[in-house]
Amino acid sequence: MEDLLRPIYQERASQANTLGVLILEKKKPISPVTDNFDVILFIIVKNAEDDWYVKHYEFADKSAAMHIVDETLLQHWIDTSSYRRSVEWVINGSIIFERNDYISSLKEKLRSFPTETRDLKKAIEFAKLIRSYSESKDLYENGHHLDAYSRMVSSLHHLARLAIIEKGFHPEVTVWNQVKKIEPEIYKYYEELIMSKESTEKRVQLMTLAVEHAISIRAGSSAKHLLELMKQKEQPWSFGELKVHPEIEEYALDLSSMIEYLVEKELVEVVLQDTKGSGIYHRTYKAVHN
């Protein structure tokens, strides 16, 4: 199949801004990793006019998708898990061209999973987990049991990805297959929620307690990215300052619920500051030094 596609990728490889070309073939009849295409051509470039360009091909009863991605966007996907397929393409794809060992170095970096990248990913998943769990709990308490169930399923997905990152792996598309091997306890939670013969109300109620415990024991390590940032200055932070900080951009939408949870767990301290209004204070935040 590589031979049939050679004219396509050779043209790209000859261009000076092409850093590398990977190929990944479908191994099963249904293949989420390749979007069910028979083959993926993944081309990484620098200084691209379009950050992400996609073209589809058909040949000899086979289908192929070519993705040309700027290295900056790819790095963003890697750092934030916002497009998990791309990580799998880099890890599992075969190198058919690379400039100055670019892809070999990238593969090694993904395998080693640097601490800074891991801490950011944990914070992103933790923030989403807190938001989803809080919504599930609120919906349950207001009698909306099916909606609470739906949000609890989402919570378990975030918890699963968080557990995978903790173990030093990148979450894949088939996340539950990973979790079953890496963190069987969380896989058991998922099975209990979706397969139990209990009522929906009872399933959500029991899972609320289990997930609350799982979140609680992870709070300090999962929020490390945020807590370390907050410790960089002596003065407390206003929420507005934190929300617009570039290092927090990827989980800014879930920052409010994350901060409230960390306050509840006494990992973040509320510092009140005077305003012009009598009895009204600005609420600012400071990481607790352990």
Paired with 66 in beta bridges are: 41, 55
Q: Measuring CA to CA, which residue among 189, 260, 192 is closest to residue 226?
A: 260
Distances (CA, A) of 177 to 52, 97, 161, 248: 29, 31, 11, 30
Q: How does residue 1 score in pLDDT terms, banded at 50, 70 and 90?
A: low
The pTM of this model reads 0.84
Confidence of residue 257 (pLDDT cuts 50, 70, 90): very high
pLDDT number for residue 239:
96
What domains can you pick out in the chain, each with its CATH number?
Answer: 2-111 (3.30.460.10), 115-287 (1.20.120.330)
Q: What is the dihedral of CA 188, 267, 170, 136, to 10 degrees?
A: 50
